[in-house]
Amino acid sequence: MDNVFPRSNTTHMVLRRCLATRAQSENTMRSPLVLGDIITISQSTVSRIVFRVSTLLASHINRYIKMPSTQESRSENKRLFKELGYGPGAIGLPCIDGAIDCCHIRLVHSRFQAIGETFRNRKGYFSLNVQAVVGPRTEFLDIVPEWPGSEHDSRIFQNSRIYMRYSQHELDGMLVGDAGYPALPFLLTPVANPATDEQIRFSMHVY
């Protein structure tokens, strides 16, 4: 943090980290809960601190958010996912590297001018549709944060680097996703209109 905040302010480092975390959890700089907690700090100061802390965290994204790089770590992920699949009525999830889904992150400001509607999602508010792959320990393995809210999950996936890596057999396992994704050789999804008991159990388990 020393390269973000002046050394003369080091006594306030912990406060600033806590402030940024709290503000981000509320998803708005104007939240009464945030400003109530930090009533002596202006909203403009909160915004600057959040920007600086977020920029610092983002600079380390490739160091901490990445797919397992060794065969041993990939095998361990597959083993843990298979164990997650056991229990009453469960079928197991073999060969799974990670679980994929998208999440809408609300945009606080709507100054998008002519391109604004591309950020409006199906629920009517402006957002980014952020794709993430998580591992069996709920750790992030891959993230695609730049698509507007109007884009469908499957299109984001099919234009992502993780899709290319599986398509080109750089990665040899599979992902598991919901019905918003197409069934692919490397993407396990629920059975459409399940008819048999096995298909019903499978689809419920994948969900």
CA distances from 161 to 99, 138, 143, 157, 180 (A): 16, 20, 10, 8, 19
Given a contact cutoff of 8 angstroms between Cβ atoms, the answer to whether 186 and 174 are in contact is: yes
**CA geometry: angle at 183 spanning 205 and 99, to 5°?**
50
The widest CA-to-CA distance across the chain, in whole angstroms, is 68
Strand partners, 147: none
Say which residue the tokens 């958010």 belong to.
65
Is residue 181 very low, low, confident or very high in pLDDT (cuts 50, 70, 90)? very high
Report pLDDT digits (tens) over 126-135. 899 999 999 9
pLDDT of residue 4: 44
Report pLDDT digits (tens) over 22-45. 666 665 555 544 554 555 667 777
Examine the pLDDT at 3 and tell me if it is beyond 50: no
Q: How far apart are CA 177 and CA 131, in angstroms?
A: 11
Beta strands 174-176; 187-188: pairing state:
parallel
Beta strands 187-188; 127-134: pairing state:
unpaired
pLDDT of residue 110: 53
Q: How far apart are CA 177 and CA 188, in angstroms?
A: 6
Contacts of 8 (CB under 8 A, 6+ apart): none
Mean pLDDT of the residues in the chain: 80
Beta carbons within 10 angstroms of residue 191's beta carbon: 15
Between 177 and 33, residue with greater pLDDT: 177
Q: What is the mean pLDDT of residues 162-190?
A: 93
Q: How far apart are CA 171 and CA 41, in angstroms?
A: 48
